[in-house]
Every structure is written in C-alpha cells, then in structure tokens.
Structure 1
C-alpha cells in the first residue's frame, strides 16, 4: 500500500435517521398481538396477502417523481435503462421504483393484476412494514408497521359494517376491554349532502372541510366564525374566514352538532341537516343500514356508534368512514391526563382500483396503527410476560457438553424454550449474568456431584435477583432461590417453576 494512501475510516455503527432496530421481547410482543388480530380476520373468512415491498411509482400513484424531487414522499430510485427492454415492469427498463408507503396501494394493484383469478369480492388482510420519506420526529419513524383488512368488489354497506365489527373484535382480542374503546362511524356522502344543502361552491369546499376538522379544537362558535368572517386565535392573530353567509353556515353547524343520545336520534338530526340533498339522504340511509347490521352482529352502541365528528381523508374516501378511539386516560409527558386517542381508521374508497382498470371497483377497509396499539396495551399493563427469555442450561464441565445439549432438547420437547450456554464456561458468574441479560426465568445447573447423584439444580433467577437486592447475605443463604430435583423430573419441575414465576409477576403487576 502506498504511504500517501489514506486509510478508509470505519463506518459508523448507527441506524439511519428516522429508523430504528427492534429487539427480541418487542418483536415477540408485536407478533403475539398481530397473531391475535389475524385470528379475528381469519375467522371472518379473510385471507392473508403478502405483497412486494417494492412497487413501481406509477402503481403507487400518490407521489409521482418529478425532475426536482424524485424522492418526494417515498423512497424511490430509477432503474438503469437496458436497450431492448420496454417500460412498465421494472427489470432494467428505466422505470421509477419505490418502497411501498402503505398496504392499500399494493392491494389495488393486486386486485387489478389478478382480477380474473381472485374471487369477487376479495377479502384480504395484510401486515408488514411500510416506508415514508418524510421528516422524522418524536415517535414518528420512516419505517413502521401497518395492519390492514379490506374487502374489494362489494358495494354493499354490509362490507363496511363487517369491517367495523371486526375492528371491535380485534381490539378485544388483544386485550382492550369494552368501555375502553369506541368505533365511531360517519359517511362522506352525508358531508357532501351538507355542503350541497349549504350551497358551498367547489372553490370553497376544501376550506369548509378543513374548518370542519377543527370542531374539536375551537368548538361551535369558533367554527361559525371560521366559516363566515373569521376569528382571532389565542395569540391575537386574525384568521380569515371562508366567507359563507350565516344561512350557508347553518347546515354545516347542524351537521357538526347532530350527535344525539343514541343512533336513532343522531340519524334523525342528520336527515334534517342534509335538507333536500339526495346524496346526503343516501349517506344517512347507509349509516342507518350499518347501525342495524352492527346491532344484528351483537355490536352494540357502546362498542360502535354513529358520530358525525369523524372526518377522515376527505379527498380519498367515498362513503362510510370510521375510526377506533381508545377512551381510557393516560398521562402525557407533562403529567397531564388525556385520552389515549385513535389507534385505527378506514372507510370506503371506490376509486382506487379504477386507476388500473378504468372501471369502478368498490372497496372498503381499515388500517390499525400497530405501534400505537402496542403502546396502548403497555399503558394498560397488558404487555408481554416478564419471563419471556429462554431457560439457560449452564455448563459446569466442558467435556459434558453433549449431556447439557440433551437437557435442553428434553426441555424443548416438553414445550419449554431452552438453550445451552455457548460462551466461555470458565466463570460461572458470567453464565448467570448472561442468563439475566437474556431475561431467563430459570437456570439449570448440574456439576459432577449432581450428575453422580442423578439430580439437577433449578435456579429461580427473578427470585434470586429480588432476594439479593432486599436481603443480607445470611438471610439470602437461608432462603435460597434454587431447588434440587431428580433429573428425570427436569421438564416437569422446570415448567412448575416457570408457572410460579409467571403467577408472581401477575401478582406484582396487580399490586402496582
């Protein structure tokens, strides 16, 4: 090597900005939650679907690249063009490709590509990572998990009602109790009918919709001011109004305040709010049908309810819209109580597949925010069991490694997660430190003396840690955290100790 040639610097061992690594217990906890949700979807006849992580930008449709910003919104790149290969499918044809930004756009492509092979309606669920090339922030990552369920090919609101029922069942399946959540339902057609009754022009519609979305923050009077002449915010700055007359604003306010004591009252108020709009009346009829179907499926109004305040993706959805809100309180970063909020949302989107086929293809679906729901379960103390690590079989004699491997195999055959310590066994303390770092509930110990007597030692690691922390050495010696058992009862007694640890953890959690 030439003396003047600089040595290459070592790469930094760090994740890219906006990304993160997920380790053992968190991965296991997420998988367990998704498995329970998948069980609900499967019971309703939905099939799993896995699509490619990479789609053509043309198929994604939402963020087409331009000359100045080819990566706007998505992680995109252009394939190198190869002579003789035409565009339309990647593979060196000069196409723009991108990581999927959600699970719905790939579904639309699949529904169009395999429309002659798939049953219609096609009911599928999908779970996996998606990528957004957006500015990261606290709790906002560029790669995250989504969990979707959709029905493609049915225009019946029975499909929407089923999605809402499944969403309620899924929340309960992962441990969210009734009374701690509510699926709230609205319909875009009702809102369109309100705009029609208010004689809102096309130029004003977007501003009106944006103002409606502020109802929870500024209240009735604030929305009225924003719809008409404007208002001053808390800082004293003047915010221009949309410019509607008081008569025009009246149907919008009637819509926003139409939530009644029950679904029947809400529906009656909505009929009054849409006036003579045929589209609005159609939307109210669809909500009434959904309410009746949900009741027939045993989903009462304490689980799913008609709520006009739900305003979602108004440029995207074409009919019923819904979201799941967790109603229990948590403490924010400043120690203030607040409701946990939304963990899922969706609705009817009848225009997405049409981009590929040129024909109307009705579709409806829901997406659960996986990280949000996991955070909610942890906030309610419903996270994974503390004793999630494997049982560790320690090594007292290098020459007896086959015996230790046999013990681990016996434990696994009995359904117990187990491993043999494969580091340097010279220092036994390091073996126990390893077991603690692995979150092991039990350590198996057998030296030459124990082997000669046909016994093994089972060490309760959580108990040992607790005793060492709270007791003197003499007290600890009188209450050892390990027991001696006959080797032929290894699996039986290990299982019993793990159950004891699990019960102890449950009791401690309740006490806390």
Structure 2
C-alpha cells in the first residue's frame, strides 16, 4: 500500500519584529491620531500620502551598495532590475515628492502624514521592524521661526492627547553648536567622520550614563555591566573637559533656564562662526517661545539632544515623557522620547542640486499610545461594542435583518448573528463581543408582536461589588419584553442608562 503523502501546512506565525493589533487598541489609536490631526490642521498643515515603496536611491540614509542592497531597508529588484525599498521613514519620500512636484507647490509647503514605516534591523523589546509615524513638515521656510513652530506644535499635540503640562518636556539643541564645539576642540574631519560620530553618540548618552560614562566614551572607551567594550573617541583630556563643559551647560539651573544654557554654549563654542550661528538661532527661537507663552516648563535647551540621523543641519528637538509608571509586572517604566525632529536643509538638495530648507516633527505612534495606556488615558471601549440581534429561526432571517437595519439607521452600532448556531452559542457570542444588548425574537415574542431585550451590561454589573448600584439595579431588570414597534426607542433608552451610570461611577 502506497504511503500517503503528508500535506504541507504552514505554521501560523507573525514574523519577528512585526505584530498584529486588535480592534480596541486600533480604536484608541484612531482617536489619538484624530486629536493630533486636529492640531496639525489647526496649524495650517495639509494631508499627504506618499507611496510605501520608493526607489532605493531616493531614500538617502540607507543607500544600498553592491554587496548589501538590503542594509537598513527591505529592498527588492523590479523587472527593470532597479532596486526598490519599503520606506524607512516619512521624510525621505516627502523630499522626493517635493523635488518631483516643486514648481507646482506653494512655498513653504506644509504637509502632515501618518503611516507605517519599515526598518531592516534586529528587533528587540519595544523595537519593531514595522511601526507607525505621524509627521508634520514645512519645506521652503529658511528661518528658525519654522523650527520654533514645530516645537510648539509638539507641545500642543501632547496636551491634546491627554498628557498634562509638567509630564512632558520638549528639549532642543542645534547641530551647528555641536559643529562649532568640534571646531573649537580641533577635531579634524567632516561631520559624519568616525571620531565626530563617536563624540556625538557619547554626548547623547549623558542622561543614561552620567559624567563618568560619557568621559570614558570620549576617551579610551567603556566596558558596560555585561562586559561588552565600546571603543571611545580617543580625545585628549583638555578636549574631553571642553566637551563636558558643553554637555553640562545649564544643568542644575532653576527650571533648566534657556538663557543660562545659551550663555554656557556661547563660552564653549568660542569664536567658531558656525557655533555662534547655532546659538543665535536658538536665542531667536527662545524669543518666539517666550512671546507665545511656552516657558521652560514645556521647552528647554538641552546639550544631550543630538539626534542620530545624519541629515539634520540645524535645530534639533526631542520629546521626553517625565512620568514614571508601573507595567503589568509592577516594574517601573520610563518612556523617554516619543517624538523628535529638526531641520534638514540638504535632503531635497539631493534631487534639485540647490538648497531647499525644511524642518519637521515626527511622533512615534505606538510608543505614545503605550504611554497613554499606562497613564490610564485611553477611553472606555464598553459602548463601542455592537448590539447583537439573534437569529433563532432560519426562515425568519429577513425579520432579524430588518431589526438590525432599523438600529443602524438610528445611529446605533448593531450586527445580526450570522454564525448558524443555537441560542446558547449566540448568547455566548454576544458576551464575547462585549455587546451591551442582545435582541431576541422567537416564536412566542413574534406571536405577541414583541421582542426581548437582554441587558448584558447589567448582567455583568450584578456580579460586581460596586458601591451605590443596588438601588439602580432594582428598577432595571436584566431582561425585558417590549413592543416590536418600540425597538429603537427602548434600545436607545437602555444604552443611555448605561452611559449615565458609567459616568456616575467615573468609569
């Protein structure tokens, strides 16, 4: 007897570094994005959607080379053997779009966009290969007023989604100040050189490693707790001292006073023209912040803000969430940055051959949503579940469909059960859906011209110890029969009672 060939069945699994997101969290995300979108619209930005796939040579940061076409991005070749890639952010596609449509666009061009981006990098805790960003950018504005507006926009976005003032801070710096510091301490080589980037990475770690850790990274190198060694920049002691003077400018001043920080930066950049230019740009931004009422409790100047991407050319800024909460295991969680941005005057130039000034701000949607969840700022989803109309007789399906349509036309979220199971399974389904009400019309109800409304939320309430709800329960039976003609009216009343009761108990 021939051996039966085994059928191949692929394993149901999500790839590493990506994830599925379910309905309740997606709804919370949609509400959060709507509030951010309102702020972007109020500032005069218009929506834009660019393609998720770009020619790889347009992406700028992760240009594929002959040996590693997938370095940093997910890339593939089309029929013409041209390399294409999934976008790694929303800024590089914007630069391509502006260059391609330059003559027809208003200048400045102001756009916002949200969508997924992809990074071909090793995934880790909280580090995904696919994640969502929500950006606002101004292209064609040469003055730092545009950068200042981006920082104030970020503040307004965080407050709009429910993060109170005092629980976040926007921290700004300027890459020109850093370039001036490098010039003053005699670091040779163009920005982007190995030594240059090693110094920037060391400065960026000050808030995590402190003075001693940064000094080691500026000098011979540092061994961490696991024994891994990170090679340092190899600076001389006097160079290290000058860098630390810069890093600690403003540290310890009351409320991180912006003017005190600028005074410290003027000293460390000395006579460097590029450095002084950066300081004066920030001084101009400070005047704009002050005039608009954005004090140092919302915006500070901070030496540790470096920003990793190589295309930043001027002011850079980063958000910091200051509150600490506990995760489900009781461990403290500090979220840190959930948004960042800066000026990138050279990105469109790659296409046009002329400088086109630009600045932008990007929100990390997943991190911000996770922060709101731990803060308890996500709204209750109980009322978003649909009313479920049961289907007890296959030959009377049209009656159930008619009731479902009436509820929907009244603006009530409703669905007709389509699973083909009996009443017990249908009720179990309604419970699992979180339905507030089940609508039942069997033979007996139909003969009387009635329907039964089963209050599923009240049933759940009866199993809980909630102060002050006993009297409320007494007059609200968990199951009532009503005239069929009064279906919509009675469902609306039942939903309204639940809404007011939840509000009374602060839920």
1:253 equivalenced with 2:244 (yes/no): yes
Equivalent residue in structure 1 for 2:338, among 333, 337, 343: 343
Where structure 2 has 5 or more consecutive residues not aligned to the other structure, the ranges are 467-472
> Is 2:287 aligned against 1:292?
yes
For the residues of structure 2 that align with 1:232 and 1:73, how far apart are their CA atoms?
A: 27
Per-residue deviation, 1:420: 1.0
1:40-89 CA-partner distances (Å, limit 9, x unpaired): 11111111111111111111233333444332222211123xxxxxxxxx
Partners of 1:439 and 1:41 lie apart in 2 by 34
Offset, 1:484: 3.9
Q: 1:125 to 1:314 in 2, by over 3 A?
A: closer
Separation of aligned partners in 2, 1:500 and 1:327: 39
Distance in structure 1 (CA, Å) of the matches to 2:371 and 2:98? 33
Tell me how far 1:469 sits from its aligned partner: 7.3
Instruction: Quote the residue 1:83 is aligned against.
Output: none
Which of 385, 388, 396 lines up with 1:400 in the alignment?
Answer: 396
Number of residue equivalences: 492
Contact 1:386 1:505 (C-alpha < 8 Å) held by counterparts: no
Change (3 A) 1:19 1:192: same
Query: Is 1:465 aligned to residue 460 of structure 2?
Result: yes
Distance 1:162 1:225 in 2: 37
8 A contact 1:291–1:305 mirrored in 2:
no
Unaligned 5+ runs, structure 1: 81-92
Counterpart residue number, 1:73: 72
Relative distance call for 1:175 and 1:206 in structure 2 (3 A) is: same
Show CA shifts across 1:460-505 (max 9, x none): 223313435789xxxx999842334444443343234334434555
Q: Deviations over 1:83-136 (max 9, x none)?
A: xxxxxxxxxx22111111111111111010010111111111111111222222
Does 1:31 find its partner at 2:22? no
Contact 1:325 1:343 in 2 (8 A): yes
**CA RMSD, aligned part only?**
2.9
Task: Give CA-to-partner distance per residue, 1:273-315, whole Å, 9 cap, x none.
Answer: 2222222221111112212222333333222222222121262
Counterpart in 1 of 2:19? 20
Q: Does the C-alpha gap of structure 1 residues 381 and 501 become closer, same or farther in structure 2, counting only changes over 3 Å?
A: farther
What is the rounded CA distance, in whole Å, between the counterparts of 1:180 and 1:160 in structure 2?
Answer: 22
Is 1:119 matched with 2:106? yes
Query: What TM-score, normalized to structure 1?
Result: 0.87
Match of 1:116, SS state, is helix
Partner of residue 49, structure 1: 48
Question: Is contact 2:327-2:374 (8 Å) kept?
Answer: no
Counterpart mapping for 1:301-316 below 5 A: 301-313=296-308, 315-316=310-311
Measured at CA, do residues 447 and 314 of structure 1 come closer, stay the same or move farther in structure 2, by a change above 3 Å? closer
Choose from 145, 151, 159 the match for 1:164: 151
Question: In the TM superposition, what is the alpha-carbon distance from 1:414 to its structure 2 partner?
Answer: 2.1
Which residue among 195, 207, 215 is the counterpart of 2:198?
207
The 8 Å contact of residues 212 and 223 in structure 1, kept in 2 or not, is answered as: yes
Question: 1: CA distance between counterparts of 2:226 and 2:19?
Answer: 37
Structure 1's 497 and 193: CA in aligned 2 closer, same or farther, altered over 3 A? Answer: farther
Equivalences for residues 38-437 of structure 1 within 5 A:
38-80=37-79, 93-202=80-189, 204-228=195-219, 241-259=232-250, 260-261=253-254, 262-313=257-308, 315-332=310-327, 335-387=330-382, 388-425=384-421, 427-437=422-432
SS in 2 for 1:308: coil
CA contact (8 A) 1:251 1:274 kept: no
Change (3 A) 1:383 1:332: closer
Does the 8 Å contact 1:385/1:502 carry over to 2?
Answer: no
Q: 1:481 aligns with which of 475, 478, 482?
A: 478
Change (3 A) 1:239 1:454: closer
- Taking the aligned partners of 1:479 and 1:326, their CA distance within structure 2 comes to 44
